[in-house]
Structure 1
């Protein structure tokens, strides 16, 4: 089975994904890390030197390559991945695939992202007030895609372990 984690940046996709993959004995793949290996360049540098349009194009290409493989894995997507190039439809139409939206509220996301803005090219230059507005706007736009996932898990006020258990219980 292919397990796809989606949600806004900093909702816990990578942390929860690694733990859940370990519990399920599945390989864990972070799509951004996969892209960096394939492109031999960081996502930050891809955005800086080649732009978001290029990034979204290769992001979709690599996602569809992974979905077409015969391998089982747990894949953590970038926050915008489901919203471009019919990526969410590709996920939903791939046999033996389950998608899970890790849903966090705006205040949780602001709190988490304010601590790691330097590593996030899309929000690095925003102050916390602008960050709140930016996230609210993005969630409004992206929820249309996120809510198509097979399952939704609310992550606010839960530990990584609690969310991991909820996720693995859905799949076992």
Structure 2
């Protein structure tokens, strides 16, 4: 089984993904890290030097490679991955693949992302909580229609990692 985690940035895809992979005895991959390895640049550098369109093309190519792997794994997607190109249909049509949406409220996402915004290309220009919350609200509204097509939707708030792993494995 290929378990693929999606959700907005800050939802905990990488953190939960690592623990889920350990518990399941499979490898964990983070799509953004795999893109960075392939390109030899940080995501922020790719965005600033080559732009989002270039990044999304590379993201689609790297995703296709992962979906064609024969191994079982846990893969954390970037927040926008399911929303671009044909990524969502590629994931959903792939056999033995489970797409899981990690869902958090706008307030929880704002809280998680505010102190970390300098590391994230899409929000590093937002300098106060109100602007960040407005950005997340608009962005999440646009992306929600993609996230909600996941095989499983898990509300993350107030749950421990062991609770989330148990819910995923049910």
How high is the TM-score relative to the length of structure 2? 0.97
- Asked whether 1:19 is paired with 2:19, we answer yes
Supply the distance in 1 between the matched residues of 2:12 and 2:52 (Cα, whole angstroms): 23
Deviation at 1:166, TM superposition (A): 1.7
Secondary structure in structure 2 of the residue aligned to 1:29: strand
Q: Which residue of 1 aligns with 2:134?
A: 133
Supply the distance in 2 between the matched residues of 1:76 and 1:143 (Cα, whole angstroms): 17
Q: CA RMSD in A?
A: 0.8
Deviation at 1:125, TM superposition (A): 1.5
- 1:83-123 Cα offsets, whole Å, 9 max, x none, are 00010000000011000000000000000000201111111
- 1:1-25 Cα offsets, whole Å, 9 max, x none, are 1110000000000000000000001
Tell me, which stretches of 5 or more residues in structure 2 are unaligned?
Answer: none
Q: Which residue of 2 aligns with 1:42?
A: 42
Secondary structure in structure 2 of the residue aligned to 1:5: strand
Deviation at 1:68, TM superposition (A): 1.2
> How many residues end up aligned between the 2 structures?
169
Tell me, which stretches of 5 or more residues in structure 1 are unaligned?
Answer: none
1:1-172 paired onto structure 2 within 5 Å: 1-126=1-126, 127-167=128-168, 169-170=169-170
Deviant stretches of 4+, over 4 Å: none
